[in-house]
A and B are shown apart, each in its own frame.
Chain A
Amino acid sequence: MGENDAGVIIVGAGHAGGTAAAQLRQYGYDKPIVMVGEEPIAPYQRPPLSKAWLKGEADAESLALKPESFYVQANIELILDVKVASVSREAKTVTLSDGRVLPYGFLIIATGARARPLPVPGSDLKGVMVLRSAADAEGLKAVLGPGTRLAVIGGGYIGLEAAASARALGGDAVVIEREPRILARVSCKPLSDFFTDYHRARGVEFRLDAVVDSFVGEAGHVTGVRLGSGETVACDAALIGIGVTPNDELARDAGLECTGGIVVDEHARTSDPAIFAIGDVTHRPLPLYDRMFRLESVANALEQARQAASAIVGRPAPAHEVTWNWSDQYDLKYQFAGLPFDVDDVVVRGDPASAKFAVFHLNGDKIQAVEAVNAPAEFMAGRQLIGQRRSVSRAKLADMSVSMKEVAA
C-alpha cells in the first residue's frame, strides 16, 4: 500500500469540507474519503440561515449542500456528531472523540469558526443566542414573530440580516452597536449610513456607541439588555453577532503554523505537506493585495476547497479569484468584491437615496474593492476590474451616464 492509499480525511463537515469532498470525486479521486463533522447533519449552506431560511422562504432540503444519497453514491463516508480530538502527524492518523483512530494520506482541516461570546453578566440566560449553525437558527426562528422584540448585539451583516428577518416576520428589532456606526469593520461610511437609514425606515431601532453592560432576566430568561449608559433595552430574545474566532486549536495542538487561523499557502497547504486547511479557519495569502488575511465567506471556502482538491489529485491550481460576498436585507441585494486595503479615495456611483448605487474603493487609479447595492453591473464589472488590476477613470466611474461596459472597456 502506497503512503497515500489511506485516502483523504476531512475534518469539518461544513460548506468548505463538503465542497472539497465533492470536488475530489468530480476530479476523479478514487481513494477513500472520510468526512468527520461535529454537527449531527450532513454539510449545508449557512448563508440562508440569517436570510431566506430565517424568513421561511427556504426549507431544510434546500439548505443541504447535497442530498444524503449523494454521499452513498460517491462513496464518501460521513461520520457525524463526532469531533476529531487530535492529529498525529507522525503516524498520519486522527483520533476521534469516540476513540476511533483513522489513518490518512491527506488531511483537510475545515473546522471553520465559532461565534465569539460576549462575556458579560447574564449571557447564560435563556434567550441569549448566537447564529452560526442550523440548530442556532432553529432556536432563533422559534422566537421571532409578531409581538416579540429581538435585541441584536453587533451591527454586522449577520445582525442586520436577522433584524430585517425579524421585521419581515412581524416582530420588532433593535440593533446595539459598540462603534459610532454599524458595519464599521467591513464597510465604508456611505454604506453604513445607507443601511442605518434603510433599517430605521422599516422600524428597526439603533443604539450606537453603546456598550453592553449585562443581560437582565426573569426566571432564567432574558428580558433586557443593560447598556453602559444605564438604559435597559427590553427584549424577548438577544442575538449576539460580534464576529467569530477560528477553530484552529486542533491544528495548533498538532504543531501546525497558526496565527489567528491556520497558515496556508496558495494551494491551501499548511506547514505540513500532507495537511491542507480551507475556509474560515485559514490565514491565507491574498495575491492581489500581497498580504495574508483571514476571510469569512462562502467564496473563500469554495476557492480553497478547489485549491486543496486540485493539489491532492495533481490538477493545475485554479486561477486566483477576487474575493466576494453578499447580503440580502429586505429588497436589497448587497454585493461586494475585493477588499479595501491601501485605499486612498472612495468614489460613489449613483444616489444612495435611490437604493441603487455602488461605492468603489480606489488606490490610485486601481479599484481595490467595490460595494454594490442593487447594482449588479457595478459589482460584476468591479470584480473583473479588480482581478485584472486595470486602471480606471474616476470621472467615468462616478458618471452614471457612462455605462459600466464603457468604464470597463
Chain B
Amino acid sequence: MAKITYVEFNGAEHVVDVKPGMSVMEGAVKNNVPGIDADCGGACACATCHVYVDEAWLDKTGDKSAMEESMLDFAENVAPNSRLSCQINVTDTLDGLVVRMPESQH
C-alpha cells in the first residue's frame, strides 16, 4: 500500500492508503475524496483529474505522455508540476506522495 495525501484547494487533507496498480486518480475517487472529478474514469479524455504534484515527488511520478501534455495545455491554472492523476500509476515507491488540487476541474 502507498499512503497518499490529497490536499483540497481549501487546505483540507485526506490521507488514503492506495493499492499499487491503481492510479492516483482512482485512489481519490474510490475513497470519495472531493476535488478530483475524473469524469472519463481514467481514459485521459477529459482533464478533470488535474493535480499539482509536490515538488519532492516530481521525479518519482514519471513523465507525461504527449496526450497528457496536450490535455493539460488547455486545463485551467496549469503549473509546471501539473499532472493528470489518472496517468500516475501507484507503486510502493510513491508511499508518502502528496498531491494538491486546483480550485476547480471544470
> B-contacting residues of A (Cβ < 8 Å)?
22, 25-26, 45, 47-48, 51-52, 62, 64-67, 70, 74, 298-299, 302, 318-319, 321, 324, 326, 328, 333, 335, 376-377, 380-381, 383-384, 404-405, 408
Contacts and interface: CB of A to CB of B under 8 A. Distances in A.
A137 to B, nearest CB: 15
B73 A405 contact: yes
Given A65-B29, A319-B106, A326-B46, 16 more contacts: A25-B32, A45-B41, A47-B43, A52-B43, A74-B32, A298-B40, A299-B46, A302-B37, A321-B106, A324-B46, A333-B67, A376-B70, A377-B74, A380-B71, A380-B74, A380-B75
A370 to B, nearest CB: 12
Interface string B81-102: 0000000000000000000000
Contacts, number: 63
A380 B47 contact: yes
A377 B70 contact: yes
A167 to B, nearest CB: 19
Interface string B28-70: 0111101001011111111100000000000000000001001
B52 to A, nearest CB: 18
Contacts of B31: 70
A interface secondary structure, majority: helix
Contact of A333 (B29, B32, B44): B44
22 contacts: A26-B34, A45-B41, A47-B40, A64-B30, A66-B30, A67-B30, A70-B31, A299-B46, A302-B39, A324-B46, A326-B46, A328-B43, A333-B44, A333-B67, A376-B67, A377-B70, A380-B47, A380-B70, A380-B74, A381-B74, A405-B73, A408-B74
Nearest to A327: B45
Contacts of B22: 62
B41 A47 contact: yes
Chain B CB within 10 Å, residue with most, of A26, A377, A383, A405: A377
Chain B CB within 10 Å, residue with most, of A45, A335, A376, A408: A376
B30 A335 contact: no
Contacts of B106: 318-319, 321
B32 A26 contact: yes
A326 B40 CA distance: 8
Return the 5 tightest CB-CB contacts between A and B, nearest first. A380-B74, A326-B45, A376-B70, A377-B70, A26-B34
B28 to A, nearest CB: 11
Task: Give the interface size bracket for B toward A.
Answer: 20 to 34
Contact of B43 (A299, A326, A404): A326
A357 B32 CA distance: 36
Chain B CB within 10 Å, residue with most, of A62, A74, A405: A62
Contacts of B32: 22, 25-26, 66, 70, 74
Contacts of B42: 62
A326 B41 CA distance: 11
B2 to A, nearest CB: 17
A281 to B, nearest CB: 19
A167 B44 CA distance: 23
Nearest to B65: A376
Chain A CB within 10 Å, residue with most, of B22, B34, B45: B45
Contacts of A319: 106
Nearest to B40: A326
A377 B74 CA distance: 7
A50 to B, nearest CB: 12
Given A377-B74, A380-B74, A70 B45 contact: no
A326 B67 CA distance: 14
A170 B71 CA distance: 32
Given A62-B26, A70-B32, A299 B39 contact: yes
A157 B43 CA distance: 16
Contacts of A51: 43
A308 B71 CA distance: 28
A48 B73 contact: no
A404 to B, nearest CB: 7
A380 B22 CA distance: 26
Nearest to B76: A384
A62 B23 CA distance: 10
B73 A380 contact: yes
